[in-house]
Structure 1
């Protein structure tokens, strides 16, 4: 079987089996000196699926996985899919209570964890009668290697509408929402990979977590199309560059803050990165200046994706082809319909600012067990076509390129004026002593809300917050001036690099309360 853009449907476990037959000795997974070829990968996946079936699991049942990137993590993921099961990959950074909530919501009857998660979750899981299995063999009582079955699983027929995974949109605070994604949706990601050069000779370096949709967008086409995946348990810029050179990496998915840290290394230009064919980014704002630096100094193409885990339409910017559009996130992908609507749900023309909504063949089925949340996330046009609301504010230009302003919830309304933090961040970033910046809105008795900046100084910088704030306020309009600037050692970020503005707002409120 040769995978083409016209291939109607296939599933990752079947593709793994195909590669095992046709090129079994080709490396599939690499991590820290350990390597599995496709024959070994397929055999281990069989063992996982057979063990799950032996333990009474059936197609449609779910397991949860929570831990750092590892080869056993990948085996469990693919093995569960081969058994027709659904995978709920969970963020290790979640609180024990948050993990329990997600485990129960996903109906996972078995949870695979590494040593760090086991130590954090163990007592809480025991209180809730949740069974944990050690996927790194750190607990000999429930060790992954001993649990595997030496058998061939019973074949399961998988159809496009069957659920592939449940990815949770939250887990540190707030109410986590399980996003159900189908095998049909994931097949579209594998199939689309052909266009970007994924294939039998690709080597993909992955340093973002496997519980993230960001990672799966690269992980799935790499293995589905017969390439090699190198896993990093934790991102480190120096180690990343060494591995990229050593393994002759061709593809990678990195979030913007990772690109920033790589490009900031003084020894960056000493590494041979000529093997790179395509680099990808998504999940957080990707500034035009950083894109330009990557295009100048890092071989291969650069593609930015903008979209949601919910799958409601995606944009793509091939930065190497449109260097004059680096401030945008590109145009909607083929068969992706994206529009902008106002507060009343009325569609707006090009050039007008509003909330971005999207429709695509890869939309989520819905939020698991939360029909009301699903309804809140939907918008229908006059013909009844279903769209997913992104919560992002942006505008399309006359050529169809989308410029994002901010999240709706992050927009600051000060004295009746709409202030977009991204505009202020763009200007603040021009200060030569600042390495990272963000702007939030905080409560103000006089203005309703007022902007406050947070910043990280560059190494060796010699300045203070007041001087930077005065510099900034001289350069912007009166309504955009910062009430104050706060210097910090680092900005709080999620595992995929998003600045956690809610944490900063809560932190500011607790320390300063409401401003005048």
Structure 2
């Protein structure tokens, strides 16, 4: 069966199509990083060795293996090799606290844990709580060295049969000290993303966000499945991004808005040859209309913004180069995606009214791993019984069917493309002996798009400086969740029913845009 025939099927698996790509184009580059390159033939063989080694270590069809490391060719191949063994991947954020990483490893039930030295060093204090077999992707003493652990060259794994609703990956929604939610995405969801057709054979895609992020996977997976080349960056750097784009004649890229801003602000941006670009994508955070306009004006190729959730449901797409007068919106629902707006009473609101955004499509999570209650809270069912995913965002459709986001109902903060939950930071603040109550909001940041700021009321008879409290909290949370500022106030503004008015805090913040 040819690649074209596999991709035309209603369902197949990613490892199947990569095997066929290896047969049709064995010498085509599949993965590239600063240290190593793999062709499709080499990638397919390495996936076999990884899958065979996992099966040797007792990983069965339907089990889970976890990975937490800097992006590399080895990491990308391991992600794909885990899938070939029939297991689900739990990609974890290295910026998470050690306690959160242990919690996620335990919750996922991972039997094998792939990591690197940086993660191993961070986990030193809790290493005895990790029961999964450790494999070091960078050859360090973080675990069994990757090359030693691999099955012998030419090894083949036992074939597995994967069902469409079988877990493909478990992405954890929070890396703070709160309890993370494992979002279980099935193979059918990923197959639908692969078949969208926006990454053609021969595409060269820059991968500049981490492999544990859904933002990355919706770009990386279709690229390799469709016979393209993924150029992997271990860490985003604007100058390096531009140099690699020029060197490899990059055609596609998925970026978060803060990365676009950093690129466009470079004085030398226009000196790079970016004429190879066919399409650029954006997601994960609010994308300012003026920044979209600047990208369209100065960066060759089209620009598409996606709005959606890791949990799936419905997504919208703004084809910005075709609708320059709609840059303030996130576009229209994608084909096959049903987006509706509901009021506080759970009923759909009339056209033109503001409501919470709920969505339904073929790309939907199975649920939150081991948390049926949270899964139920995230769902809305239409009067005719159809299941939708609630976004927690509110918006309004205009007369042309374009969706404008109004605010985030859940007050979630998106910083540098990563989700920060204020309640987790507020829980940490509550542990400080001088803090009576607190509220955390997101404020504008030139560097991150948004960043968390805390407002704190002190206990009577207690004293502490803002700097002391910030140091206390930031020492106990992941790197991406750290507070940027803290204001000590006498009282927190509340509604007549006692709800803290976070919008008032956000609007009244005197720090304005933070660096």
- TM-score bin (small chain): 0.7 to 0.9
Deviation, 1:353, is 1.0
For residues 451 and 108 of structure 1, the distance between their equivalents in structure 2, rounded to whole angstroms, comes to 34
Task: Please say if residues 133 and 144 of structure 1, whose CA atoms lie closer than 8 Å, have aligned partners that are also in contact.
Answer: yes
Match of 2:454 in 1: none
| Matching of residues 168-207 of structure 1 within 5 Å | 168-192=172-196, 194=197, 196=198, 198-207=199-208
Displacement of 1:12 in angstroms is: 1.1
1:97-116 pair list within 5 angstroms? 97-116=99-118
Deviations 1:365-387 (A, max 9, x none): 11011000001001111111111
Distance in 2 of aligned mates of 1:254 and 1:331 = 20
Match of 1:162 among 155, 160, 166: 166
Once the 2 structures are TM-superposed, how far is the Cα of residue 132 of structure 1 from its aligned partner?
Answer: 2.2
Contact kept? 1:60, 1:86, Cα under 8 Å = yes
Distance 1:246-1:508 versus aligned 2 partners, 3 A rule = same
Give how far 1:7 is off: 2.5
CA contact (8 A) 2:68 2:119 kept: yes
- Deviation of 1:174 (Å): 2.3
**1:251-270 to 2 correspondence within 5 Å?**
251-270=252-271
- Does structure 2 conserve the Cα–Cα contact (< 8 Å) formed by 1:359 and 1:386? yes
Identify which range, 245-254 or 127-136, moves more after superposition: 127-136
> What is the correspondence of 1:454-473 to structure 2 with a 5 Å cutoff?
none
Shift of 1:514: 2.9
Q: Deviations over 1:306-333 (max 9, x none)?
A: 0001101100000001000000000001
C-alpha spacing 1:450/1:271, structure 2 compared with 1 (3 Å)? closer
User: In the alignment, what sits opposite 1:322?
Assistant: 323
Contact 2:411 2:441 in 1 (8 A): no
What's the CA shift string for 1:361-417, capped at 9, x where partnerless?
A: 111111011000001001111111111100001111111100001211339xxxxxx
Cα distance change of structure 1 residues 261 and 450 upon mapping to structure 2, 3 Å threshold: closer
Q: Normalising by the residue count of structure 1, what TM-score does the alignment of the two structures yield?
A: 0.81
Which position in structure 1 is the counterpart of 2:351? 350
**Following superposition of structure 1 onto structure 2, how do residues 400-479 of structure 1 map, counting pairs within 5 Å?**
400-410=401-411
Relative distance call for 1:122 and 1:133 in structure 2 (3 A) is: farther
Q: Which residue of 1 aligns with 2:305?
A: 304
The residue aligned with 1:70 is: 72
CA distance in 2, matches of 1:182, 1:141: 29
Cα deviations by residue, 1:111-138 (Å, 9 ceiling, x for unpaired): 1101100110133122344432211111
Structure 1 residues 128 and 7, CA, compared in 2 at 3 Å: closer, same or farther?
Answer: closer
Deviation of the 1:158 alpha carbon: 1.7
Tell me how far 1:452 sits from its aligned partner.
9.3
Match of 2:236?
Answer: 235
CA contact (8 A) 2:171 2:213 kept: yes
| Count of residues in correspondence between the two structures | 441
SS of match in other structure, 2:158: coil
User: Please, which runs of 5 or more residues in structure 2 have no aligned partner?
Assistant: 415-421, 427-437, 448-473, 494-515
Shift of 1:455: 5.3
Report the alpha carbon displacement of residue 2 of structure 1 after superposing the two structures with TM: 3.6
Instruction: Note if 1:29 corresponds to 2:7.
Output: no
CA distance in 1, matches of 2:77, 2:257: 28
Say whether the 8 Å CA contact 1:11–1:187 is kept in structure 2: yes
TM superposition shift of 1:219: 0.5
RMSD, aligned α-carbons: 2.7
Q: Against the structure 1 CA distance between its residues 450 and 60, is the aligned structure 2 distance closer, same or farther, given a 3 Å change threshold?
A: closer
Normalised TM-score (structure 2): 0.81
Look up the match of 1:395.
396
- Offset from partner CA, 1:472-511 (integer Å, 9 cap, x none): xxxxxxxxxxxxxxxxxxxx9xxxx9x96x946xx535x4
Distance in structure 2 (CA, Å) of the matches to 1:8 and 1:142: 39
> In structure 2, how many angstroms separate the alpha carbons of the residues matched to 1:246 and 1:395?
42
| Counterpart Cα distance in 2 of 1:8 and 1:105 | 32
Look up the match of 2:283: 282
Distance 1:127 1:365, change over 3 A: closer
Structure 1 runs not aligned, ≥5 long:
412-420, 423-439, 458-491
Query: Which residue pairs with 1:41 in the alignment?
Result: 43
Q: 1:508 is matched with which residue?
A: 486
Quick one: distance in 2 between partners of 1:126 and 1:515? 42
> Is contact 1:125-1:131 (8 Å) kept?
no
2:102–2:129 CA contact under 8 A, matched in 1: no
Change in CA separation of 1:281 and 1:154 when aligned onto 2, cut-off 3 Å: same
